[in-house]
Amino acid sequence: MKTKNSKELFKKSKEHIAGGVNSPVRAFKSVGGTPIFFKKSRGCYLYDEDGNKYLDFVGSWGPMVLGHSNKAIVNAIKKQASKAISFGAPTKNELEIAKIIKSYIPSIEKLRMVNSGTEATMSCIRLARGTTGRKKIIKFIGCYHGHVDSLLVKAGSGAATLGVPDSPGIPDELSKLTITLEYNNASELKKAFTKFGEDIAAVIVEPIAGNMGFIEPDENFLKTLRSLCTKNKSILIFDEVMTGFRVARGGVQELFNIKPDLTALGKIVGGGLPVGVYGGKAKIMNNISPDGPVYQAGTLSGNPVAVSAGSALLKQLKNKKMFSELERKGEIFLKGLKEEAEKNGIPFCYNIRGGMFGFFFSNKLPKNFQEVSDTNISMFNKFFRLMLEQNVYLPPSAFESCFLSTEHSQEQLLITVKLSSNVFKNLNNVLLN
């Protein structure tokens, strides 16, 4: 695998771009090596600046559920761009995509377009505080909700540990309004509400945690969460930026039949262009300016090109069977990887829903961030680098989810399983030595 051009580009980028990248995980710091600089994509393949071709399991972190350079999406972008790129004013495009989103996710009665998932979660928190008149929020350790100050808080311990900032620049005073709890721990949740219930404006959660390697909720966790929020008049926020239109057409809330009060969406909604959405109960959304007192704005929100791309994608998700087919192919792929791992005495387990999955070098599926951290992270890092040499592009972090597209064929996935055979043999040799 040639890497000369990527190495040179990364070296030059570090002179002009902070860290050489525009989002930290892209730097390959956790897995080692030099980040790949890409120039083209088609279907389920990526092409880099050195002429290498990779089978892609990142999918731009979710949006490419129909594969890269989908014809309908590309045509929609071209058509709209030929008319206008931006207005900073209302368009018919916004109305069209709003209707589609509402039809797929019934808990959303009204919505507002923004420009990223971070903006969506940030706006949900502000709206929850403005609606309830309360200040404290609950989040779960290992759930990432963007880089907004209130949500970028380190793991805590105990039933209701007040958080500490996860980054310099976040005031201690602000972070103390965020209560961090263990994901999948209903007992901690109950204790937190007993102690702080009257002060809790909202609970925000990834209903399936996609930022610690794809962790599913225990059977009663989301039900307990819904019940406690209802009882205490706190607002339940589902962050489905990653899982929306990915694990199922209607997201996790469709899978588990649990309706949040507010939902944050992103990624797929823009068809690959920067878009975020938040929405939910009309009586809550009516508190947003200009109808209500809670202010939120965005000059480029509802950008006509971005929402045209998103509409073109979402229209192609009408058939729900698409998601079961993605899961069927993914199961074959992951079972194959597991078999190859076990042949070499390497522990391997996985989770999958729809076109989204995660795997761990462990005998037991983790249920929370600490258990993910206790899996063999160094083994994942070695696996990533060895698979990259086989021209397979996986997320460059053990704490990220993987993504399938409709363009991944069963044949391609089985070929990847065969490629993994030598990789697992090499990992076995590392273990023995």
pLDDT band for position 430 (cuts 50, 70, 90)? low
List the 38-42 sheet strands across, edge first: 38-42, 45-48, 53-56, 392-393
Among the residues of 35-162, which ranges form H helices? 71-83, 92-104, 117-132
Q: What is the mean pLDDT of residues 96-120?
A: 97
Residues 63 and 76 in one domain: no
Number of domains in the chain: 2
Residues 205 and 298 in one domain: yes
pLDDT band for position 175 (cuts 50, 70, 90)? confident
pLDDT for position 166: 63
Q: Which CATH number belongs to the domain containing residue 405 in this structure?
A: 3.90.1150.10
Instruction: Using the 3D structure, point to which of 260, 295, 317 is the last residue of a domain.
Output: 317
Instruction: Using the 3D structure, point to which of 288, 317, 346 is the last residue of a domain.
Output: 317
Residue 379, pLDDT > 50, answer yes
Q: Over the stretch 59-78, which tens digit does the pLDDT of each residue have?
A: 999 999 999 999 999 999 99
Q: What is the mean pLDDT of residues 398-405?
A: 96
Q: What is the mean pLDDT of residues 415-428?
A: 94
From the candidates 45, 104, 139, 267, give the one annotated as an active-site residue: 267
Residue 253, pLDDT > 70, answer yes
Residues 221 and 255 in one domain: yes
pLDDT band for position 171 (cuts 50, 70, 90)? confident
From the candidates 48, 56, 239, 261, give the one annotated as an active-site residue: 239
From the candidates 45, 104, 144, 183, give the one annotated as an active-site residue: 144
Instruction: Using the 3D structure, point to which of 282, 297, 317 is the last residue of a domain.
Output: 317
Residues 83 and 218 in one domain: yes
Q: Compute the distance between CA of residue 109 and CA of residue 284 in angstroms, rounded to an integer.
A: 10
Residues 53 and 156 in one domain: no
Residues 111 and 145 in one domain: yes
Residue 259, pLDDT > 80, answer yes
Residues 26 and 148 in one domain: no
Residues 176 and 84 in one domain: yes
b/e code 129-141 from CB counts within 10 Å (16+ = b): bbbbebebbbbbb
Residues 176 and 243 in one domain: yes
Q: What is the mean pLDDT of residues 295-312?
A: 97
Which domain range does residue 97 map to? 71-317
Residues 122 and 241 in one domain: yes
Average pLDDT across the chain, whole number: 93
Residues 61 and 208 in one domain: no
Q: Is the distance from CB of 251 to CB of 263 less than 8 angstroms?
A: yes
In the annotation, is 144 catalytic?
Answer: yes
Q: What is the mean pLDDT of residues 179-183?
A: 93
Letter for the amino acid at 72? Answer: A
Q: What is the mean pLDDT of residues 265-286?
A: 97
Residue 239, pLDDT > 60, answer yes
Residues 151 and 186 in one domain: yes
Q: Over the stretch 336-350, which tens digit does the pLDDT of each residue have?
A: 999 999 999 999 999
The residues near 158 (Cβ < 8 Å, ≥ 6 apart) are: 188
In the annotation, is 50 catalytic?
Answer: no
In the annotation, is 12 catalytic?
Answer: no
Q: Which CATH number belongs to the domain containing residue 217 in this structure?
A: 3.40.640.10
